[in-house]
Amino acid sequence: MTDDEKKPRNPRTPVRTALGALSGALAGCTALAVAELVSAWVRPQAGPVVAVGSAAIDRTPAAVKDWAIRNFGADDKLVLQLGILAVLALCAMALGVVALRYRRCGAGGVLLFGVVGAVAAVGRPDSEGLTDALPSVAGAVVGAALLHLLAGRLASGGPTPDGTAAGDGVSPGPYWDRRGFVIAASAAAVASAGAGALGRALNGSSGRDALASRKDIVLPSPASPASPRPRGTQLRIPGVSPFITPNKDFYRVDTALVVPKVDATTWRLRLHGEGVARPVTLTFDDLLRRELIERDITLTCVSNEVGGPYAGNARWIGVRLADLLAECGVLPPSKGGPADQLVARSVDGMTLGTPVEDVMDGRDALLAVGMNGEPLPFTHGFPVRMVVPGLYGYVSACKWIEDIELTTFDAYDTYWVKRKWAREAPVKTQSRIDTPKPFARPEAGTVMVAGVAWAQHRGIDKVEIRVDDGPWQEARLAAEDSRDTWRQWSFPWQATKGGHTLTVRATDRTGAVQTDRRTRTIPDGASGRHSVVVTVE
């Protein structure tokens, strides 16, 4: 046998290109798998996809973010990560093709992606320093080496007819090392699958201490229980939002790609800043030993469109924030205190700014430890979050809180304020039709129209319904729990055949009627009235 018969000749161009792309894809997978494994050892937030994703979230214009929340809802983060993976896959394949001709460039490109991941990870506000670069760097180095190796197999195959060594990284030889390529590629596929799976498993079980600490918590019974809920806060009408939102159904809005898993036994809350005569650092047990209060409070998101789903009502247990502040010597601005802004900071570097005046004006602003009878779920801020009746979440409801700093609005802009959202954002009076659903086809006769209305800390006094261009007709209000909670309402509609538009409006206890002036969510919450179009059959 001659050399020519023994060594496979290089396949035709399309096949070669495909093999190059395959090499790139394998290098990319391996890089990500190694990064995943190393991030399990460093910390899950330091993984390249999470780091780049988080950086992207921070840099996304408000309008795009609003659009993402609107279209993907709570899946927005999944969509973002899949998007990043898709872009990476395309780039990796392109680099694989490039590596066929320019081996070093292919490998160098992989390294460059590693640098991007590393910079993103180290640049996170909650970064723990240079170690956060390790997952990206390790992944990129292994990925680059693999691509170099695979591209070499595709190009090599012994001396070329003109005597120069093939696989020199400049020009492909006429032969390729088919056996070597298949072995290396298969080995890489198996190893990266293994590393990826192991990394996933380790990352999944990270936060074991946090899980255990949550299991161990026994919430004390509150010194000040919620006043008994009056009968009839919950209407018996199918389709209306339950008065209390179960934790599993409670909306979630935050920027965390990886839900922080905080160990309650090592958690600390620092309270300090301007006008804080006696700064303190509190443990979780310190909080539980204090007088706990229990309150029903409805939380709403500023990103909620008119008629949207980002509102929920829960029974919270926690410490009265105003009492704690007073003990530390804090005075509200109206009593001469120097600080008008309370900046809450979370373990993942989020900042939220709340008016000190609002927190100390007598309302039940909470450092919450419990939600609907259990410790906070991790997605809702375990172990401790803030809840302030009457203010949108982004200016009040800091989850995974670890620091409270008293300062001024002049001195500091928080995360969303830097992104053009309003400094102060009291909840706007709103109402929503839960049933019938848009484009429903109810039968003519009595159709129960029902929903919820909210104007936290002012209370709802009236809800009215309008059919088409008819007169406003008063709906029946369910019993009020407190002015900090939403209120259900219902309206028995004598529906006639044909297409109809139902519109709702609420009036709060200050007498203000929900405006029909439509505004966008940015900068301080959507206004306007919710309508539903139905066809009566």
List residues near Mo ion by CB under 5 A.
253, 301-302, 393-394
Shortest Å, Cβ 430 to ligand MTE: 14
CA proximity to 20, closest of 91, 88, 99? 99
**Whose Cβ is closer to Mo ion: residue 301's or residue 356's?**
301
CB of 355 to ligand MTE, least distance (A): 16
Give residue 354's identity as a one-letter amino acid code. T
Residue type, 126: D
Angstrom CA distances, 253 to 14, 77, 319, stand at: 47, 10, 23
Contacted by 433, from Mo ion, ligand MTE, none: CB < 5 to 8 Å by type: none
In angstroms, what is the minimal distance from the CB of 482 to Mo ion?
22
Residue 480 touches which of Mo ion, ligand MTE, none (CB < 5 to 8 A by kind)? none
- If contact means CB under 5 to 8 A according to the sort of partner, which of ligand MTE, Mo ion, none does residue 255 touch? ligand MTE
Between 400 and 491, name the residue whose CB sits nearer to ligand MTE: 400
CB 300 within 8 A of CB 362: no
Beta carbon nearer to ligand MTE, 118 or 386: 386
Q: Which of ligand MTE, Mo ion, none does 283 bind, CB closer than 5 to 8 A by kind?
A: none
* Residue nearer to Mo ion on the CB measure, 62 or 331: 62
Q: Give yes or no for a contact between 450 and 489, defined as CB atoms under 8 angstroms apart.
A: yes
Nearer CB in complex with Mo ion: 313/503: 313
Stated as kind and residue range, the H or E segment containing 477 is strand 476-477
Q: How far is the CB of 370 from Mo ion (least distance, A)?
A: 21
Neighbours of 301 (CB within 10 A): 22
Selection from ligand MTE, Mo ion, none that 378 binds (CB < 5 to 8 A by kind) is: none
Interface ranges with ligand MTE (CB under 6 A): 250-255, 299, 301, 346, 348, 350, 380, 393-394, 397-400
**Chain position whose Cβ is nearest to ligand MTE:** 393
Q: For ligand MTE, give the closer residue by CB, 31 or 299.
A: 299
Alpha-carbon torsion angle 274, 278, 279, 283, nearest 10:
-150
Judged by beta carbon, residue 247 or residue 265, the one nearer ligand MTE is 247
Return left, alpha or beta for 158; rule: phi > 0 is left, psi -120 to 50 is alpha, else beta: left
Cis status, amide bond into 383, omega within 30 of 0: yes
CB 107, min distance to ligand MTE, A: 38
Strand extents, DSSP E, 280-410: 280-283, 292-300, 311-320, 341-346, 351-355, 366-371, 374-375, 385-387, 401-407
